[in-house]
């Protein structure tokens, strides 16, 4: 081709024009940011800032960007970030931005799955049942799929009362259980009062129902004075005077 260009003046001019056009096109070719580099930036950021805080097994699945999306290659290293209020488990998004000469920013959809041990019902439980360790077993679940909460240890649930029927295999949530009542309204109870270094025991009467740890009002039978205190595991009421 070049020999033909040099042998014929008109062809030479034409060839030079073509060469200049091709050279100009090559010099102005736009370099685009690869989608894989965006995915890698998002995943590396989440691994360092989210997964490192988890004590449980966790995985990250990064969603795919639209194949038609073309972003100019960043002149600086890509940066990732989490928007204020972003979830750090389950379906969420992570931002990736370019702070180069031609900045851009976008959000990538991700799914952060965190697997942990949770309590499930070993058998069908009925309203009013008091839980024992044999009623429960531990299974591994994706915590992102448990928006209503969960319990991790049998010790935290044993002795609790079931509020409604629970089928076998169901994940136990805090709202399914309640502390058993150990004090009833009108019941005679012992009032414990600490005065300085002394602890005084008085006969009293409960003015409300309650479970261990609940704060209720009581009345001193002798003085008729009304007090407020916390129910102990023994069913006594501890007040501050």
Which residues touch 62 (CB under 8 Å, ≥6 apart)? 39, 42, 43, 108, 109, 110
Whether residue 146 contacts residue 115, with contact meaning beta carbons closer than 8 Å, is answered with no
Which residues touch 229 (CB under 8 Å, ≥6 apart)? 191, 192, 215, 216, 218, 237, 238, 239, 240
pLDDT for the residue numbered 221? 94
Q: Per-domain residue ranges for the chain?
A: 35-114, 115-178, 181-240
| Rounded-to-integer distance, Cα 229 and Cα 217, Å | 6
Give CATH for domain 115-178.
Answer: 3.90.1210.10
Looking from the CA of 48 toward its CB, the CA atoms found within 13 Å total 9
| Rounded-to-integer distance, Cα 124 and Cα 104, Å | 55
| pLDDT beneath 50: ranges in the chain | 1-4, 6, 12, 20-27
Q: Do the domains spanning 115-178 and 181-240 agree at the CATH topology level? A: no
pLDDT for the residue numbered 104? 96
| Rounded-to-integer distance, Cα 213 and Cα 35, Å | 55
pLDDT for the residue numbered 14? 53
pLDDT for the residue numbered 233? 87
pLDDT for the residue numbered 144? 84
Question: Is this structure's pTM higher than 0.75?
Answer: no
CATH class of 181-240: mainly beta
- Per-residue pLDDT of 12-65, as tens digits, reads 455 555 554 444 444 456 799 999 999 999 999 998 888 777 766 888 999 999
Reference 172, options 191, 158, 192; nearest CA is 158
């Amino acid at each position: 081709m070049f020999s033909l260009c040099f042998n014929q003046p008109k062809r030479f001019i034409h060839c030079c024009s073509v060469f200049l056009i091709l050279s100009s096109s090559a010099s102005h070719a736009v370099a685009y940011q690869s989608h894989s580099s965006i995915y890698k930036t998002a995943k590396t950021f989440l691994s360092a800032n989210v997964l490192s805080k988890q004590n449980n097994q966790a995985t990250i699945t990064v969603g795919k960007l639209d194949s038609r999306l073309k972003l100019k290659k960043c002149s600086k290293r890509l940066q990732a970030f989490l928007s204020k209020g972003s979830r750090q488990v389950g379906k969420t998004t992570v931002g990736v931005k370019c702070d180069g000469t031609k900045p851009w920013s976008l959000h990538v959809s991700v799914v952060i799955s965190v697997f942990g041990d949770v309590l499930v019902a070993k058998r069908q439980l009925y309203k009013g049942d008091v839980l024992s360790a044999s009623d429960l077993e531990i299974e591994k679940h994706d915590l992102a799929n448990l928006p209503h909460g969960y319990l991790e240890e049998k010790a935290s649930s044993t002795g609790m009362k079931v509020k409604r029927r629970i089928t076998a295999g169901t994940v136990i949530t805090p709202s399914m259980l309640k502390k058993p009542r150990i004090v009833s309204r009108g019941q005679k109870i012992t009032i414990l009062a600490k005065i300085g270094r002394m602890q005084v025991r008085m006969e009293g009467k409960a003015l409300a129902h309650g479970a261990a740890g609940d704060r209720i009002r009581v009345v001193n039978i002798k003085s008729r004075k009304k007090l407020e205190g916390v129910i102990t595991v023994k069913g006594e009421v501890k007040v501050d005077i």
